[in-house]
Amino acid sequence: MKVIKIPVGLLQANCYLVINKDKILIVDPGSEFDKIQSKIKELNVKPIGILITHSHFDHIGALKQFEDLYNIPICNHKNRIEFDDFKFKIIDTEGHTSDSVTFYFYENSFMFTGDFLFKETIGRTDLETSDAEQMKKSIAKIKQLPIDTIIYPGHGENSTLEHELKNNFFLF
């Protein structure tokens, strides 16, 4: 399985393409539909679904365009779908938003955390549907995963759970 990161939009939200053989999942298509679509065409793979970590505008800006173009299902906090050839668990990681989820690909030891967890920090908890206490509970869940798990966040650089356990004040 291969993961390609495509930073998009004014806030440089990370959209990801998760490729398994000739199929892909699109994670958080935040904006710049043409940029993402160009990469999909270049890869010559078939999108079979879309994963949404949370519903902030910078993570769903191009969602409708992909949904209309491919007529594929959307997996999020309410609509939990499994896709053949892609094995993952959906972990509720509220805190940054009330609809935040993390997609943990357990066979490949990586996860998409959206704005819940970043390299050496966490997402804001001072927004309308944020909850600092819920964030603490969500962090506790993530800390139980294998330390070699790769973190693909909603913005910025990738990390690993091992790095975060050693360097992220919020995980101490």
- In the chain, domain spans: 1-76, 87-172
pLDDT, position 3: 98
Percent of the chain with pLDDT strictly greater than 70: 100
Each residue of 97-141: pLDDT tens digit?
A: 999 999 999 999 999 999 999 999 999 999 999 999 999 999 999
Domains 1-76 and 87-172 equal at CATH topology level: yes
SS3 state at 137: helix
Best CATH choice for the domain 87-172 from the list 3.60.15.10, 3.10.450.240, 3.40.1110.10, 3.60.20.10: 3.60.15.10
| Rounded distance between C-alpha atoms, residue 31 and residue 25, angstroms | 16
Closest by CA to 27, choosing from 109, 95, 88, is 88
Mean pLDDT within 5-20: 98
Mean pLDDT within 75-92: 95
Mean pLDDT, all residues of the chain: 97
Give yes or no for residue 81 having a pLDDT over 90: yes
Closest by CA to 138, choosing from 80, 77, 81, 73, is 77
CATH homologous superfamily for 1-76?
A: Ribonuclease Z/Hydroxyacylglutathione hydrolase-like (3.60.15.10)
pTM of the model: 0.97
How many residues are given for the chain? 172
pLDDT, position 84: 84
Each residue of 39-77: pLDDT tens digit?
A: 999 999 999 999 999 999 999 999 999 999 999 999 999
DSSP 108: T
Mean pLDDT within 139-161: 98
